[in-house]
Amino acid sequence: MEWALFLDDERYLTDDELGKRNWIYARTFFEACHLVHRLGCPNFISFDHDLSDGPTGYKFAKWLTKQNMDRALKWPCNFAFRVHSQNPIGKMNIERYLDAFIHSEV
């Protein structure tokens, strides 16, 4: 099943964005992990950095890559992401971490 994850504890997708993918919301790090365990890796993730439950979007990005490295989870070949966080340092950290991981896998 192709699906997209919107990881954010406060925001919602716009009406324009909703129809473009099969989105599922996760409001916490733990909810996002549960969804990935249940549904497999999404084809697309939109990340927020600061989540209200403590662990950040950056921690989720690290968890997701570890799942791939441990071969517990296979990423789709068309995997893509964006970071919509208002936290500029957190946004940069997620982007750099995932970009480096994706390019190392090629």
pLDDT of residue 81: 97
Q: Given this model, what pLDDT does residue 35 score?
A: 97
Chunk the chain into consecutive blocks of 10 residues (it has 106) and report each block's average pLDDT, rounded to whole numbers: 94 85 95 96 96 92 94 89 97 97 77
pLDDT value at position 17?
83
**Which pLDDT value is given to residue 20?**
81
Instruction: State the Cα–Cα distance between residues 86 and 78, nearest whole angstrom.
Output: 26
Q: Which CATH architecture has domain 4-105?
A: 3-Layer(aba) Sandwich (3.40)
Q: Spell out the domain ranges in the chain.
A: 4-105
Say what the pLDDT of residue 105 is: 61
If one counts every other C-beta atom within 10 angstroms of the C-beta of residue 38, the result is: 8
Q: Round to whole Å and give the CA distance between 90 and 43.
A: 22
pLDDT at 101: 93
Query: pTM of the entire structure?
Result: 0.92
